[in-house]
Amino acid sequence: MSTIDSSDTVVLGDRAVRRLGYGAMQLAGPGVFGPPKDPDAAVAVLREAVESGVNHIDTSDFYGPHVTNQLIRKALHPYPDDLVIVTKIGARRGADGSWLPAFSPAELTQAVHDNLRNLGVDALDVVNLRSMFGIHGPAEGSVEAALSVLAELQHKGLVRHIGLSNVTPAQIEEGRRICNIVCVQNHYNLAHRADDALIDELARNGVAYVPFFPLGGFSPLQSSVLSEVAQRLRATPMQVALGWLLRRAPNILLIPGTSSVAHLRENLAAAQLDLPRDAGAALDGIGTASAANAGQHVA
């Protein structure tokens, strides 16, 4: 069994969590909609993760919907004292599996209560407000009204800590004027480096950054560089991508997802991966090339 006991920690809210966590999104059915083909296998993955030292699980009641939270409860309740479950609100699923904004006070309040019920808890450890101004990436728009609803639910004791997801730096600044923001969850990886400056700023302010899609958005050339480094280190491309993220900044928390125990063990082994300096430089170059190409495209 792979373990992550030796990995360092980051403060998330009022608790320290290990930097390699687990994202539950893939436990739902295809398209993150409906139940999984094998619910027992999903339960096994969750239990394996916690037994291996994972104490940070990322989820949402709109995964399924309701499916992943119900699986988490079945697999892990009553929860270990050190386990931090982070959920998110701000979206809902259409009957066809589409992703729709759910930003009204009634929808946000209902989402918190749905998460509480399906996870089987009296208060949610961390709730991320997921901005839906841009479904496939951050887009400007005020989060004040929605975040004020969430802050009021925090005041009532239903939410312990608040984070933001799929947001811009301006939205983070707006949010921090309303309540304490303990984490930011955005798309970021070796090839998708738009948040470089933001990550460093959040690190200076003691705010955790949680990147998703560690292998999303790679060009064939970028993938080949990653594969070459992985082959040289006798690791998988995912392990190398996760290892680079752990090396990138001390406030980064990872939530790689999988529905396979074998893949889970591979992902957790990234905590022990040693990236030599030349390998790190080759991987850093993926982001440099990506930025250059983006500049040429805009021009």
Is 209 annotated as catalytic? Answer: no
Annotated catalytic residue within 22, 63, 79, 188: 63
DSSP 8-state code for residue 259:
S
Specify whether the CB–CB gap between 245 and 211 falls below 8 A.
yes
- From its phi and psi, is residue 234 left (phi > 0), alpha (psi between -120 and 50) or beta? left
SS3 state of residue 165: strand
Residue 254's Cβ-side half-sphere holds a number of Cα atoms within 13 Å equal to 31
What is d(CA 293, CA 23) in angstroms, rounded to the nearest whole number? 31
How many angstroms separate the first and last alpha carbons of the chain? Answer: 50
99-101 and 91-93 strand pairing: antiparallel
Q: How many CB atoms are closer than 10 A to CB 110? A: 15
Q: Known catalytic residues?
A: 63
